[in-house]
Structure 1
């Protein structure tokens, strides 16, 4: 199981994650990303968003 964390201090709200995985990320009212769906079936898209975040604001933690 994975847990997706958005570092709001780093996030600049450019929407790269939303473009890659709209099923997992959206832009909140503060203009920054929110990880709202951490379904394992879309884990490859979530990881791609993490890898492509220009400021490294997406952190994935593996849970048991």
Structure 2
């Protein structure tokens, strides 16, 4: 069984570019105010979700391991 991720979007940072939906349409949706929301706050780890987080122009997407809280993206420096 693979990793499970906890996905959050900091809507105070989100600019509604829609890049997350382009990269991972099954993982994100935009509301009527064009703010991003994860479709499921806890989900299986996946390349598309990671690509969405990496492609966010303002780094509003935070991904952590669901079972331990360790950061996946953005990585700790």
Report the TM-score, using the length of structure 2 for normalisation: 0.74
Cα shift at 1:29: 2.2
- The structure with the larger Rg is 2
1:24 counterpart residue number:
27
How many residue pairs match? The answer is 63
CA distance in 2, matches of 1:39, 1:5: 11
CA RMSD of aligned residues (A): 1.3
Structure with bigger helix share is: 1
- Structure (1/2) with the larger strand percentage: 2
Structure number with greater CO (CA < 8 Å, separation at least 6) is 1
Structure 2 regions of 5+ residues with no counterpart?
A: 68-77
Does 2:37 match 1:34? yes
Structure 1: gaps (5+ residues): none
Give CA-to-partner distance per residue, 1:4-28, whole Å, 9 cap, x none.
Answer: 0000010000100000110111101
- Which of 55, 59, 64 is the equivalent residue of 2:58? 55
